[in-house]
Amino acid sequence: MPKLSLYNRDGEQVDEIEIQASLFEVPFKQGALHQTAVSQAARRRQGTASSKGRSEVRGSGSKPWPQKGTGRARHGSVTSPIWVGGGVTFGPHPRDYSTRVPKKMRRIALKSALSDKFREGKLIIVDDFALDTPQTKKVAALLEKLNVTGGALIASDQPDINLIRGARNLPRVKTILARQLNVLDILTYNYLVMSKAGLQQAEEVFGG
């Protein structure tokens, strides 16, 4: 089984732990990763953009002036799209952008993303986060000691209010539960930092 260094909150290596090969030594599957990431990004779109067509704009249905005799161009309605305040031609309407990806493909994509982080040396396991106060500087100091740069996804086994509040003001840093790991977040952030308990939870949920 592959092994990974275990660090404490001071950035010191304290042990070496084994990790599941079925989760962290999977071949890179670019097609599955791309399709899953695009699907997850699409599901996050609100799809609430809306505009009114000429039949929905408030206005008189009668002709603004006679067809002939005025010397002006002919018009049939003030709600026409070529009028200021008129309807919108082919404008956006509420829609659902989500697409379905098979469960097996999603699982393969997640394992591929985790394996890629492991191969690049950007998967870091910490013994325990355990912050006594919700201070941003403590989370920043922890990441600095671990030599984490370019953003980090921090995964723990249980919600930690001090960790969540301490990390939310840091740019390009996000906290998540290990059982909620997903392809889009893993690809978005440069490093994946997990607690030892979070790693065990991820192996229980996604391993095998």
Tens of pLDDT, residue by residue over 104-130, are 999 999 999 999 999 999 999 999 998
Which residue intervals of the chain are DSSP H helices?
A: 21-24, 30-43, 103-119, 136-145, 161-167, 183-188, 196-206
Reduce the DSSP state of residue 75 to 3 states and report it: coil
To the nearest 10°, the Cα dihedral for 102, 108, 113, 114? 130
Q: Residue 166's pLDDT is what?
A: 95
- The per-residue pLDDT for range 183-194, each reduced to its tens digit, is 999 999 999 999
**55-79 mean pLDDT:** 94
CA atoms within 13 A on the CB side of 114: 26
- For the segment 3-20, the average pLDDT, to the nearest whole number, is 93
Q: Cβ(200)–Cβ(158) under 8 Å?
A: no
Evaluate if residue 207 carries a pLDDT over 90: no
Three-state SS for 31? helix
Q: Is the per-residue pLDDT at 1 higher than 90?
A: no
* Mean pLDDT of the chain, nearest integer: 95
Q: Which CATH architecture has domain 3-45+103-206?
A: 3-Layer(aba) Sandwich (3.40)
* pLDDT tens-digit readout, 70-85: 999 999 999 999 999 9
- Asked if residue 86 lies in contact with residue 54, where contact means CB atoms within 8 angstroms, the answer is yes
Say if residue 190 is exposed, middle or buried (CB neighbours under 10 Å; 0-12, 13-18, 19+): middle
Distance CA 40, CA 44 (A): 7
Residue 129: name the closest of 5, 6, 9 by CA: 9
Mean pLDDT to the nearest integer, 43-66: 94
Is the CB of residue 41 less than 8 Å from the CB of residue 175? no
What would the DSSP string read from start to end of 153-184?
A: EEEESS--HHHHHHHTTSTTEEEEEGGG--HH
Greater confidence (107 vs 61) lies with 107
Output the pLDDT for position 61: 86
Band of pLDDT at residue 28, cut at 50, 70 and 90: very high
Its pTM surpasses 0.75: yes
Comma-separated ranges of CATH 3.40.1370.10 domains in the chain = 3-45+103-206
The answer to whether the beta carbons of residues 14 and 7 sit under 8 Å apart is: yes
Residue 208 has pLDDT above 80, yes or no: no
